[in-house]
Each structure stands twice: as structure tokens, then as C-alpha cells.
Amino acid sequence: MASFVLTVVATWGIYALLGMGIVLVYRTSRILNIAGGELAIFIGYVVAIAIESGLPFPIAVPLGMGAAMALGLAIFWFTIRRVMGEPPHVGLMLTVGIATILNGLMIILFGGGMTAVPAGLPAFTSLGSVRLPTPDIVAAIGAWLSIAAIAIMYHLTNLGLQMRAVAERVMLSAQRGLNVDRTVALSWVIGVLAAGLAGMLHGERSYVALSATVIGISALIACLIGGMDSLKGVVLAAFIVALTESVTALYIDPRYVLIAPVTILLVILIIRPWGLFGTVEEFRRV
Amino acid sequence: MKMKSGLTFVSAALSAALALSAASAQEKVHKVGYIADLSGPMQDNYGPIVEGFEFYVKELNARNGIDGVPVRVAVRDDQLDATRASSIALELATSEGVNSIWGMSQTRTHLAVYQTAARNRIPATAMFSGIKEVLPPNPLPYAYSAGHVFEVAGEVSGKLAAKMLNGKGKMICNSIEAPGGVAACQFAEGAAAAGGLETGTVLFPPTVTEFGAIAQRMTSMSPTMVVAHAGSGQNVGLIKALRGAGFDGPILMGSHGLNEMPLINALQGVGSLDKLQIVSRFSSPDTTGKELDEIRAAAQKYGKKTPVSTTTIMGWSLAKVMEAALLKCGYPCPGEKLNSTLENIKVDMGSLMGGPVQFAPKDHYGISWWRVFQYDAKDKKFLPASEWLEASSTPTLRKQ
């Protein structure tokens, strides 16, 4: 039972982290980023290759974080900034393009093969008579520390205040002298960093490969269930997704592990199309 | 006079051009097609197989081809898409004018390629994965496989599991919820049960990447041995999760497009690696033999960046079958003639496999030989842990 709880907490953390990145970006730039899985696994590859090249895990991780922030900035600078204010489908299609390009780059730069992010820790940790999977412990701690850091940044710092201001009233923010471009750029940097951290943690507890980009689908489902503009919504919905997947796999039938959360999403979309914590205004805007 | 010499010059030039054109038209070459997933989700499985195939063809052409006729390979990428694979097969058979198709990607693309190839009267031979439609008694026309047909691989894995556990204990099979994966586990369960084992199966969708709860489910079934017929990436996720969930027993993996070193590298620190086993129709790259040495030499010669793996051996082996078929067929070798040749062929595979590749008119797969290779954590090698086990192309031990 303890292993199961840990598995749910770790999976929940990874989906929530990835989903928070998507929501942060959406709130400030009104772009639904569907390249979350690709961004996550791209950074997973960077860290895996760095470790394969001989760098220790504690150095490879900050390197991956730096790469994620640089990638986020590059995406904003070369693409997003040019479509700001355009209809939502333009930004959406842009992220489809980004996902495709990242897929190609993963093949060209990293070979696109299967690898992992080894933390160099044993497979399990014994606490008395309880045996817990160490990768899940690392993933849970890593994910929830990252989530806490993003939440603190968003709610307790000036930068977070600026992001919230841009999210709420972009015109007013600009009139009050806020640098909207810089704020949106920072949201992309943090959003891609969150995705990258999720990718590293997923690679540490499972594997890194092109096929692993599907973790982005689970995170996107969490975003839609929670509400595209709600950080607390995505965290709660990530729990629903992770718990549903894990309960289905352990107690029902693993064959339905992907169908179950999608079924919940469909029900939510029928009853409350803007998600559990999303706002009707945002839904209509999209 | 001037005009006459001008005409002579034009006439000579025309004759030379015609002669060159005729020579070019008559340039002897065997054109073959190769289809694989080179940029899709399983390109890490299929890419190295093409590489092995191309290494062999390069070496073959370097020694003057087949009776002086070089082999040209037109390689195409199907991205695991059956519709795309079918279009490519048509393009290869018509525009490109190949006399055969080799390789192919995941089983879901096979039927489409086989049917297109058959309509255009050229044979198609699969490597790595294979579908039951090549098996006796009524194989599809023009359709062959020299790799792992999942029904056969499943039955072999079940038999070997029963043998290794001396008929005592419980074998849990896992695979993806796809026709090949389901069949592999059905036959593995049937064979293991016939060998005295308790059995069970856990299937999951092909796109699953999170294995914590799945591993806990498998562990709760109290397995003595796990038999894995999933893809290599999923094997990594599953093995990590199984070890974390408390299963320390042997894990026997079907070598379906397996690259050994990336697998082991991805599992560093997981523990109990010496209980990892592979069941394969092909020799481990860590074993010795004339043909295996040739592969290693070719890999070095052509600057292969990654280590030689079973997938490299698969590609090389398939090209060896192709060479034998084209040699027997002679030149010219149109598709229909090559098909007749393949229906009556026996190719000695030396150290690459446990026995020859042999097709017959009513059996487009033939008898196969399978072996277990166990990981030696000290030497970091997969070494033989059983003799070659002969397997019929008509598996019968399916669990109902």
C-alpha cells in the first residue's frame, strides 16, 4: 500500500508540474501549448546524454534546467512574440509546429533512441519492513519541491504579481508600465523549465524515448479537467488523473489505464466545459 | 566535303549517345526495396536493423556484388503508419521498380505491405517482428518472415521459462495490447502451463510510459519469473518498476528489436541485472563466430557510432538471406522469379542464428532456433545460458 501511495504521489507530482507549465504559459500568453510532452522529453534527453557523457547527476540536472530555460526563451523570442494577440488557433498551431520540430531534433541530436536519467541510486529503499521504489521517492520529492517553488514564485514574488497582472488584465498592465513581453517571456521560461524538470524526473523513474512524449497527453488532460487558467485546478486534476491511472492499473485492468482519465475528462467537458476551476470567461475567449 | 564531314560527326555523336544510353539501360543491378520506421516512435528499434542490412550490402558490392551484379537498396520510412507503408510499397514496386521488399516495421503495417507487394508480384520479407500470416499451412502469397513471429516467440519463451524453473513456480507474461503482443503472451502462457507452471498475463496499452502501478499488480501476482514481450523502452520502465516493487526474480525478455547496451545503460543502479535474460532467434553480439566478427569489422569500417546489437545482427542476417535468394534467382531476377526462389530456399546462417533460414511453398517462416542469453554483470555481456531450442512454425500451445 505504501508503494502504491508513493507511486500515485510521484505520478501526480510529475503531471502537476508539467501541467503547471502549460497553465502558466496559457494564462499569460493565451496559447495552449500542446508541445509539453516533447519539451519534457527533449530536456530528459539533454540530461540523459550529459550523464552518459560522464557528468554526475547533480551537475547534469542544473545543466538540463539551464537548457530548459534557454529553450523557453528561444521559443518565445523566435515564435511566440510574433503571434501575440493573434487568434488562439494561431498559437495552438505554432505549438504543433514546435512539437514536430522538437521530435525531429530529438532524432537528429540524440538519435531518438531509448535511454534514461540514472540518479545512481538503488532500486528500492527499505524503511523497516516497507520497501519503497527509490526512483519514485526521488521523483516525488523533486516534483513537489519544484511545484512549491513555482507556487511561491507565482504568489509571493513581484515577478509572480506581474504574471498574474498580465494574466488578468493585459492592456491595463501595459498602460501601467509593465513590460508585457518580458513577463510573457518569463512565463515561457518557467513553463519550459517545469516541463523539463518533469521530463528529467520521468526519465529517472521510467525512461526517455520519443514514445515517452505521451506524458504530455496526461498533463494536458489534467489541465483541461482542472481548467486551463487555474494553477490549483491543474494540481487537483493531476491527482485525479494519477489516481485514476494507478487504480485502474493495479485494481481493474492495465489495458484501460489511458482510457479511464479520458473518460473522466469527457464527463467534465460535458458537465462543466471550462473545467473544475477554470473560468467561464476564459472558456468563451478560447 | 565540309557538309559530309559534319554529317559524319553528327552521326558518330548520335551513335555514341545511343550506345551510351543502351549501355546505361542495360546496366546490371538488382534493385531491392527496404521499408522501416526511421523517424517514427520505434525508429530506435528499426534504424539499427537497416544499418546492419546496409553494411552487408556495402560489403557485398565491395566484393563485386552477386555474380558481378551490384545490389542497390531503396530505403523508405513508414513512420509505423500502415497506410504510408502501403503507399511506399506501391511506389517501390512501380516507380522504383524493385524486385522485392525487405525489413518492414511493426506488425500492424505488415498486412498492408504484403498485400501491396502481392498485387505487384514481388515478395516481401519481414525481419524482427512477424505476423502469423506467413506461417503454414496457407501462408499469404509473396509474404515471408525471417525474424520473430510473435506466436512462435511466445511459445518458445513459455517453454524456456518452464525449463528454467523446472516446471515449478509462476510465470507472468507482459506485453502491449496489440495483436502480436497478445498472441505472444497467449502462447507463452499455454507453453508454460504445459510445462507445469502457473501462469498469468498483464497487458497494457502500447503508449504507456508509467509502470509503477502495473509493476505492483504484477508483483501482487507472486511471479517466480516475468516474461516480457514489450518494446525495449517499456522494458526499461517496467524492469525499474518491478525491482522497485520488490520483484527480484528472473526477467526473460523477448529480443524484439532489442539494443542491449542502451538497455543496460538505462538500467544502471537498478539491481539484479544478472537476472536479466533475453530469448532470441539471433546470436548475442557478445558471442563469437566468423559472421559476427564480420559484422563487427563492417561496423568499424563504416563508422558505426553505437555498439553492435542484436538489431544489427538482424539486419545483416536478412541481407544474407537476400543475397542467397538473388544468387539462386540469377540475373535478371524479376519479382515472380524471386518469389519462386524464396519458396524453395535454405540459407546457412553460420554463427548468426541457431540454424538455417528455410522457406517452403506452404511455410514462409520455417523451423527456427531460439536461445536464452543471460546478462553477466561482471563482464557486462549477454552470454548463452541455454542450447538452441528448435521451434516448429506451427505453434499449438495457445492458452484459450
pLDDT in tens, A250-269: 999 999 998 999 999 999 99
pLDDT in tens, A202-256: 999 988 988 889 899 999 999 999 998 889 999 999 999 999 999 999 999 999 9
| Same domain for B196 and B133 | no
Over residues B367-381, the mean pLDDT reads 92
Contact (Cβ atoms closer than 8 angstroms) between residue A222 and residue B281: no
Ordered structural domains, chain A, with CATH: 2-285 (1.10.3470)
**Is pLDDT of B263 > 90?**
no
Give the residue from A1, A5, A7 with the most B CB atoms within 10 Å of its CB, the best one to mutate: A7
The larger pLDDT score, comparing residue B393 to residue A114, is at: B393
The helix/strand/coil state of B270 is coil
CA distance B123 to B337: 10
> Highest-confidence range of B122-136, B158-172, B201-215, B241-255, by mean pLDDT?
B158-172
pLDDT of residue B22 exceeding 70: no
- Out of A104, A124, A250, the one facing B243 most closely (by C-beta) is A124
| Preferred mutation among A114, A117, A244 to probe B, highest tally of B CBs within 10 A | A114
- A255:B177 CB<8 A: yes
Asked if residue B11 is part of any domain, the answer here is no
Please report where in the chains the cell 502491449 appears, as a residue: B176
Chain A residues close to B40, C-beta within 8 Å: 210
Query: Given this model, what pLDDT does residue B129 score?
Result: 79
Q: How confident is the model at residue B52 (pLDDT cuts 50, 70, 90)?
A: very high
Residues of B in contact with A215 (CB under 8 A): 209-210
Which of B209, B256, B261 has the highest number of chain A CBs within 10 A, making it the mutation to test binding with A?
Answer: B209
Q: Do B266 and A115 touch (CB under 8 A)?
A: yes
Find, in chain A, the residue whose alpha carbon is nearest to that of B231.
Answer: A114
Same domain, B167 and B113: no
> How many domains does the structure of chain B reveal?
2
B387 and B266 both lie in a single domain: yes
CA angle B271, B275, B278 (to 5 degrees): 120
B183 in Cβ contact with B132 (< 8 Å): yes
Name the residue of chain A whose CA is nearest to B258's CA.
A114
Q: How confident is the model at residue A180 (pLDDT cuts 50, 70, 90)?
A: confident
Looking up cell 542544473, which residue turns up? A62
Q: Same structural domain for residues B382 and B234?
A: yes
Residue B23 pLDDT: 46
Residue-level pLDDT at B329: 96
B177: which chain A residues are within 8 Å (Cβ-Cβ)?
Answer: 255
Q: Which pLDDT band, with edges at 50, 70 and 90, does B145 fall under?
A: very high
Is B266 close to A112, i.e. CB distance below 8 A?
no
Residue A281 in this model has a pLDDT that exceeds 80 = no
The answer, yes or no, to whether residue B76 has pLDDT greater than 80, is: yes
Torsional class of A85: left (φ above 0), alpha (ψ -120 to 50), beta (otherwise) = left
Q: Does a structural domain hold residue B12?
A: no
Write down the pLDDT at residue B13.
Answer: 55
Confidence band, pLDDT 50/70/90 cuts, at residue B219: very high
B272 and B377 share a domain? yes
pLDDT, residue B332, reads: 94
Domain of residue B161: give its range.
151-280+370-391
Surface-to-core class of residue B355, CB atoms within 10 Å of its CB (0-12 exposed, 13-18 middle, 19+ buried): middle
The C-alpha cell that represents B156 in the structure block:
518458445
- Does position B83 have pLDDT exceeding 60, yes or no? yes
The answer to whether the beta carbons of residues A286 and A88 sit under 8 Å apart is yes
C-alpha A248: how far from chain center: 22
Task: Give me the mean pLDDT over the A9-32 stretch.
Answer: 92
Spell out the alpha helix ranges (H) of chain A. Answer: 2-29, 36-52, 57-75, 81-83, 88-110, 134-156, 158-168, 170-175, 180-205, 215-226, 231-247, 259-271, 280-285
Q: pLDDT value at position B399?
A: 87
Residues above pLDDT 90, as percent of chain B: 68
Mind telling me how many Å the CA of A48 is from chain B's nearest CA? 9
The mean of the pLDDT values for chain A is 89
Looking at the structure, tell me whether residues B107 and B235 fall in a common domain: no
| B140/A188 Cα distance (integer angstroms) | 54
Instruction: Evaluate whether residue B24 is within a structural domain.
Output: no
Handedness of CA A184, A216, A7, A118 (dihedral sign): negative
pLDDT above 50 (res A286): no
Characterize the bridge pairing of strands B71-77 and B30-36.
Answer: parallel
Q: pLDDT band for position B235 (50/70/90)? A: confident
Whether residue A41 has pLDDT greater than 90: yes
Residue pairs between chains A and B whose CB atoms are closer than 8 Å = 155
pLDDT at B356: 95
Pick the residue of A11, A109, A206, A247 with the most B CBs within 10 A to test the interface with B by mutation: A206
In chain A, residues with a C-beta closer than 8 Å to the C-beta of B217 are: 249-250, 254
Closest by alpha carbon to B186, among B151, B211, B236? Answer: B151
Residue B176 is assigned to a structural domain of this protein: yes
Residue B282 reports pLDDT greater than 90? yes
Q: Mind listing the pLDDT tens digit for each residue in B267-280? A: 887 878 889 999 99
- What per-residue confidence (pLDDT) applies to A87? 81
Q: Check residue B15 and give its pLDDT.
A: 55
Residues B68-87, mean pLDDT to the nearest whole number: 94
* Helix A259-271 with A215-226: angle, nearest 10 deg: 20
Q: Is a pLDDT exceeding 90 seen at residue A13?
A: yes
Residues B109 and B203 in one domain: no
What pLDDT band is residue B245 in, cutting at 50, 70 and 90? confident
| Chain B contact set for A127 (CB, 8 A) | none
Whole-number pLDDT of residue B24? 47
**Lowest mean pLDDT: which of A14-28, A46-60, B38-52?**
B38-52
Q: Identify whether residues B119 and B265 lie together within a single domain.
A: no
> What's the CA gap between B107 and B103, in Å, rounded?
11
Residues 6 or more apart whose CB falls under 8 angstroms from that of B328 comprise B341, B345
Query: Which residue among B205, B267, B272 places its CB closest to the CB of A258?
Result: B205
Q: Which residues does chain B have within 8 Å of residue A111's beta carbon, measured at their own beta carbons?
A: 44, 306
pLDDT at B367 exceeding the cut of 70: yes
Whether residue B183 lies inside any domain: the answer is yes
Contact residues on chain A for B213, CB-CB shorter than 8 A: 4, 7-8, 245-250, 254, 257
Q: Is residue B188 part of a domain?
A: yes
Q: In chain B, what residues touch A124 (CB-CB under 8 Å)?
A: 243-244, 246, 271
pLDDT score at B328:
96
Residues 6+ apart with CB under 8 A from A189: A69, A72, A73, A76
Q: Has residue B23 been placed in a domain?
A: no
pLDDT at B20 over 50: no
B207 → closest Cβ in A4, A134, A214: A214
Q: Do B215 and B142 share a structural domain?
A: no
pLDDT digits (tens, 9 = 90+) for B311-341: 999 999 999 999 999 999 999 999 999 999 9
pLDDT of residue B25: 46
The answer to whether the CB atoms of A3 and B246 lie below 8 A apart is yes
Q: How far apart are CA B147 and CA B393, in angstroms?
A: 12
Helices (H), chain B: 2-25, 43-62, 82-93, 107-119, 150-164, 179-194, 212-220, 232-244, 260-266, 290-301, 310-329, 335-342
Residue B71 scores a pLDDT above 50: yes
Residues in A closer than 8 angstroms to B41, CB to CB, are 209-211
pLDDT at A7 (0 to 100)? 93
Q: Give the cell for residue B114.
A: 504484403
Please, are residues B359 and B344 in contact by the beta-carbon 8 Å criterion?
A: yes
Closest residue in A to B48 (Cα) is A113
Q: Are residues B266 and B172 in the same domain?
A: yes
Distances (CA, A) of B14 to A69, B2, B3: 66, 18, 16
Half-sphere exposure of B272 (CA within 13 A, CB side): 18
On whether both B44 and B90 belong to a single domain, the answer is: yes
Min Cα distance B45 → chain A (Å) is 8
Report how far residue B113's alpha carbon sits from residue B143's, in angstroms, rounded to the nearest whole number: 9
ipTM: 0.87
Would you state the pLDDT for residue B10? 53
Query: A138-142, A202-206, B109-113, B304-308: which has the minimum mean pLDDT?
Result: B304-308
| B306 chain-A contacts, CB cut-off 8 A | 111, 113
pLDDT at position B8 is 56
Of residues B387 and A178, the one with the higher pLDDT is B387
Domain with residue B60: its CATH number is: 3.40.50.2300
Q: What is the pTM of this model?
A: 0.84
8 Å CB contact of B212 and A119 = no
Would strands B124-126 and B101-103 be described as parallel, antiparallel, or unpaired?
A: parallel
B197 shares a domain with B292:
no
For residues A191-195, give the mean pLDDT: 96
Residue B15 belongs to some domain of the structure: no
Distance in Å, alpha carbon of B287 to nearest chain A alpha carbon: 23
Q: Do A113 and B268 touch (CB under 8 A)?
A: no
| CB within 8 Å: A207 and B236 | yes
